[in-house]
Chains A and B, each alone.
Chain A
Amino acid sequence: MNHRKQPKLLGARVRRVEDPRFLMGKARYIEDIELPGVIDAAFVRSPFAHAEILSVDLSEALAAPGVIAALHGQDLLGRVKPTVCDAISDGWQSSEFPALAIDRVRYAGEAVAVIAADNRYVAEDGAALVDVDYRPLTPLASAEAALEPTAPLLHEGWKDNHFYRDRLAGGDPDHAFSIAHGILEFEVATHRHGGIPMEGRGCIASYDPIERVLTLWSATQIPHLIRSELAICLGLHENRVRVIAPDVGGGFGPKSHLNPEEVAVCLLAMDTRRPVRWIEDRREHMLACFHSREHYHKAKVAYAEDGRVLALSAEVTVDCGAYSVYPWTAALDPGMSLFIMPGPYRIRNFRCETSAVATNKCPYGAYRGVARSANCLTIERAMDAVADALGMDPVEVRLRNLIRSEEFPYTSVSGFVYDNASLIESLKQVCAEADYPGMRERQRIARGEGRLQGIGVVTFIEQTAPAVDEGAPINFRYDSAIVRLDPSGCATVQLGTHSHGQGHETTIAQIVADQLTIPMDRIRILYGDTQQTAQGIGTFASRTAVLAGGAAHNASGQVKDMLLERGAHLMEAAVEDVELVGGRVTVRGSGTRGLSLAGVARATYYHPELFPFGWSPLLEAAGTFDSGHGTYSNASQIVLVEVDPETGAVKILEYHIVEDCGRMINPTIVEGQIHGGVAQGIGGALYEELIYNDEGQLMTTSFMDYLIPGPTELPDFRVSHLETPSPTGPTGVKGVGEGGAVAPYAILAAAVQDAIRPIGNVFVNELPLTPERVLRFIDQAANGHG
């Protein structure tokens, strides 16, 4: 052979190709885009959680120097449709979410009016001059308050304050409970927090009245989905709406919604015929960027004498705030809970009731590991409770309940089809990595010295790149890629997804490089502009490596076939006899150098006469990949913590992770995703809480009140891998973006409870484990209230 075979890039620790622009301060985030004539918007937000709007007076603001335009809710009537995002479910109650509140505000921070001015400083001056007359109404600051029989109804025509209620059952839970060795009942609560990316939301809208084209640059994870709903809200043809997502400073879910602010900014741009920019500040981000994670679960578990869990019965309540948001609906978390709660365990009898409650709080949206962290908490707390009840080791009780590898594909009691996983293997491996027996021994010694050390262990399975065939307004089970080879033999790949930290410019290029056998620097990955890419869905739900990766694999495979066909024709060989190796089309076993990919490309584009009449002169293909049922990643984690009995502070001493996300495209990027996910999970478990008072006022509107863990709060993560290739896709890849964030709630609750054990038994069931809450659990343990 006189040409070198390129080593496989799938699986290689390739350094990220996108990094230089970020390292050099040359990335282009939304706030870095300067359009000529741009003006800045600032929103007037409701100071009340619940109030009637009696009047809005914009005149003083409009008269202020530098203020160019202003809108309030009434101005939208007849011009802009409110966002309505309904789950398809019996008894669903629909909410209309206006871009600007019209006659009633339903959460503190809801946008009431918007000012556009020369710059943001002046826009804020103008916003301060808007005179809104409110008549305060009873605030419903919790699900409990909203479900009181006397509570006012939050939306017109509703019967009660539920967006949604649903139930699911499988097996025969009643029978299982009746024959159980023991039954345990408990409740858990995870309070509100969110993704809180370092870059807030933001957008710039620009309208071309001649072409009648609206362009929206938005810091979003889902440009295509935004385009569809914007077109509906504004009554525009969708082919005249272009959404561009530039570099985005972190997504994590909070940037996967259509924001009411975006609709209002578009309208301002259409009215003023000037580009209008809105850059969210941190305070409005805390108040109005959709929150997550507020789950209340009641659970009942039946178990056998040998530790097997026979049945699980649960009630899930999610405080979904004021409106159902696009594109997820308020059924997002509670609906997901129905299916995922049994987790990685062989539970055959299951009953779950779930509900989404409307309250006077910020609407509820998607956040990394939607519903998973709370459900993992519940099922893992159940395992720990069974272990405690039987005096078993928490690892042992899990080993007895986990689905074994030979049982896959496994249809869960809730109807999910787990394609494959390495549950028991991952648990055994993490025990080995952490030297679990040795860790127990060290814990024993520490306890002897009066130190409160605790160990937590968790195994989970997670549906990645999911399909939602029932109930959701949009089924996001596929994504797309266009691969285009240019005459020089370089490839341009346009993805339907978006990259905002995940490194897709690298990982997708790795996949395409293997297919086309060309170096990565000949591949360019583009995304984020609806005018340039095929219809896509976006980046969330651990889906892009699987779906856009699968789509890019498929599309580049088609291009490869075209090259082979054309190369074979040029060499007068049969297409079955040629192969693509090292960037050349060669005749198998001929020993000749064959034709370079660039040569074939150039011939195809510039010498169509060399080919039979009618052959396409284009070397490009659009590919999609549909996950069908999604594909399942799994992991096991072990943590060692120490609790300070005086202050309640929790310190993480060791954190071990064994992750199986199928075939890894780039292990370094996989590890980065895991670290980041675990870090956010730890944040939610120990530090982060969006606290509302009884009046529905958010008390945590700054980073001084809402604590995001820093480098001194987080440990070194010890990550190792298992690779069980996905049987679902062409690459064997499973998703990994969210996994890290799933387990920390459960594992830290278990570890803190274990740490407190020498003081007494207590059931840790409320997060985040702030030092004060931990002291409360310690007090309960000391007083024998466990």
Chain B
Amino acid sequence: MVDVSRQGVEITLTVNGRKHRAQVEPRLLLADFLRRRLGLTGTHLGCEQGVCGSCTVVVNGETVRSCLLFAAQMDGYEVETIEGLSDDPDLLHPVQQAFWDHHGLQCGFCTPGMVLTARAFLEENPEPSTPEIREALAGNICRCTGYMFIVNAVKAAAETMARKVPDGKSS
């Protein structure tokens, strides 16, 4: 017998390495769950239509739109948000550091989604060309920068990450 739930769905999920149990209304979007229930407000809602990429988070290792998933679906899943990358401004992830060094952000609203997308891309493609970087970021809209400094930042991050000995912490 399948439980058809109107009120609350019981979920257990891991967010940034921490386990959470929660009861969620079926319609609660993952983005709102992260923001309102867990206080992880680095995930931003820019369109709720799946286009802008501001709400990008990582679910079971893959980038997804958290505005197009319900928290109720996340039982047993692992979620990573921008807050999971670093909690120390002196120990930023190489992608964050490169965005900082290369002026890859202005208002910062798209930045968490952009950083998570870029990181996932670089993990898969450590030596990307400029067109590949642009293509990889095509699903993330930035209204401030015109993208060029973001692209430069991703290139620079690729170089740093290539120099780094993988220690499990830097990625």
Q: Which residues of A contact B (CB under 8 A)?
A: 15-16, 19-29, 31-32, 34, 119, 121, 195-200, 247-252, 281-282, 500-503, 668-669, 671-672, 675-680, 702-704, 708, 710-712, 714, 716-717, 740
Q: List 12 A-B contacts (CB under 8 A).
A: A16-B103, A22-B111, A24-B42, A24-B86, A25-B112, A199-B44, A250-B109, A503-B106, A672-B144, A675-B145, A704-B49, A711-B142
**CB-CB < 8 A to A680: which residues of B?**
143
What is the interface of chain B mostly: helix, strand, loop, or mixed?
Answer: loop
Give the residue name and chain of the B residue nearest to A681 (CB): B146
With A29-B44, A503-B106, A702-B51 known as contacts, the answer to whether A23 contacts B111 (CB < 8 A) is yes
**Shortest Cβ gap from B128 to chain A (Å):** 12
Task: Name the one of A19, A24, A197 contacting B82, with C-beta atoms under 8 angstroms.
Answer: A24
| A710 surroundings in chain B (CB, below 8 A) | 137-141, 147
CB neighbours of A703 from chain B (8 A) = 47, 49, 51-52, 141
Nearest A residue (CB) for B89: A20
The verdict on B126 contacting chain A, using a C-beta distance below 8 Å, is: no
Contact A282 to B49, CB < 8 A, known contacts A247-B108, A248-B107 = yes
Q: Given A21, A250, A251, A669, which contacts B103 in the complex, CB threshold below 8 Å?
A: A669
Distance of A200 Cα from B44 Cα, bound (Å): 11
- Which chain A positions have C-beta within 8 A of B25? 121
B150 at the interface (CB under 8 A from A): yes
Q: Is B122 an interface residue (CB 8 A)?
A: no
Most chain A Cβ neighbours within 10 Å, of B101, B108, B149: B108
B115 within 8 A of A: yes
Q: In the assembly, what is the distance between CA of A196 and CA of B142, in Å?
A: 11
CB <8 Å contact, A25 and B43: yes
Q: Which residues of A contact B47 (CB under 8 A)?
A: 282, 702-703
B48, A282: Cβ atoms closer than 8 Å = yes
Determine if A249 and B150 form an interchain contact, defined as CB atoms under 8 angstroms apart. no
Chain B residues within 8 Å of A32, by CB: 35, 41
Q: Does the CB pair B108–A712 fall under 8 Å?
A: no
**Residue B81 CB within 8 A of the other chain:** yes
**Residue ID in chain B nearest A718 by CB atoms:** B148
Q: How far is the CA of A251 from the CA of B107 in the complex (A)?
A: 9
The 9 closest A-B pairs by CB, nearest first: A25-B42, A22-B108, A249-B109, A679-B146, A501-B107, A675-B146, A501-B106, A25-B82, A703-B51
Interchain nearest-CB distance for A211 vs B (Å): 28
A-B contact count, CB below 8 Å? 173
| Contacts A199-B109, A704-B49 known; 18 new A-B pairs at CB < 8 A | A22-B105, A24-B82, A24-B85, A26-B42, A31-B44, A119-B36, A121-B28, A198-B54, A200-B46, A247-B108, A282-B47, A503-B106, A669-B103, A703-B47, A711-B135, A711-B138, A714-B147, A716-B130
CA distance A26 to B47 in the complex (A): 20
Residues in A whose Cβ lies below 8 Å from that of B85:
24
A243 to B171, CA, bound (A): 41
Docked complex Cα distance between A708 and B138 (Å): 11
Contact flag A199-B101 (CB < 8 Å), given A27-B108, A31-B35:
no
How many chain B residues have a CB neighbour from A under 8 Å? 60
Q: Are B41 and A19 in contact (CB under 8 A)?
A: no
A683, B99: Cα distance in complex, Å: 23
Q: Nearest-CB distance from A500 to chain B (Å)? A: 5
B151 at the interface (CB under 8 A from A): yes
CA distance A219 to B137 in the complex (A): 27
The answer to whether A15 touches B109, judged by C-beta atoms less than 8 angstroms apart, is no
Q: Which of A198, A679, A714 touches B107 (beta carbons < 8 Å)?
A: A198
Within 8 A of A (CB), among B45-71: 45-49, 51-52, 54
0/1 per residue, B70-95, Cβ < 8 Å to A?
A: 00000000000111011101001000
A282 nearest in chain B by CB position: B47
Q: A24-B86, A197-B143, A711-B147 are in contact. Are A19 and B105 (CB under 8 A)?
A: yes
Known A24-B42, A669-B103, A676-B106; contact A121-B27, beta-carbon cutoff 8 A:
yes
Q: Is the CB of A19 within 8 A of B100?
A: yes
**What A residues does B51 contact at CB under 8 A?**
702-704
**Are B49 and A252 in contact (CB-based, < 8 A)?**
no
Residues of B within 8 A of A501 (CB): 106-108, 144
Say yes or no: A676 contacts B99, CB within 8 Å: no
Q: In whole Å, how far is A392's beta carbon from the nearest beta carbon of chain B?
A: 32
Q: Which chain A positions have C-beta within 8 A of B46?
A: 198-200, 282
Contacts of A19 in B (CB 8 A): 99-100, 105, 108
Whether A31 and B145, one on each chain, are in contact in the complex, defined by CB atoms closer than 8 angstroms, is no
Q: How far is the CA of A196 from the CA of B150 in the complex (A)?
A: 20
Q: Are B100 and A16 in contact (CB under 8 A)?
A: yes
Nearest CB of A to B97, in Å: 8
The 8 Å CB contact of A250, one of B86, B107, B112, is B107
Residues on the B chain within 8 Å of A24, using CB:
42, 82-83, 85-87, 89, 92, 96
Q: Which residues of B contact A281 (CB under 8 A)?
A: 48
Shortest Cβ distance from B6 into chain A, in angstroms?
13
- List chain A residues, Cβ under 8 A from B134: 711-712
Q: Are A712 and B135 in contact (CB under 8 A)?
A: yes
A20 vs B133: C-alpha distance when bound (angstroms)? 23
Q: A16-B100, A247-B108, A672-B106 are in contact. Are A678 and B27 (CB under 8 A)?
A: no
Whether B120 is near chain A, meaning CB under 8 Å from some CB there, is no
Which of A29, A195, A500, A708 contacts B141 (CB under 8 A)? A708
Residues of chain A within 8 A of B133, CB atoms compared? 711
Q: How far is the CB of A214 from chain B (nearest CB, A)?
A: 25
Q: Known: A703-B47, A716-B148. Contact between A711 and B109, CB under 8 A?
A: no
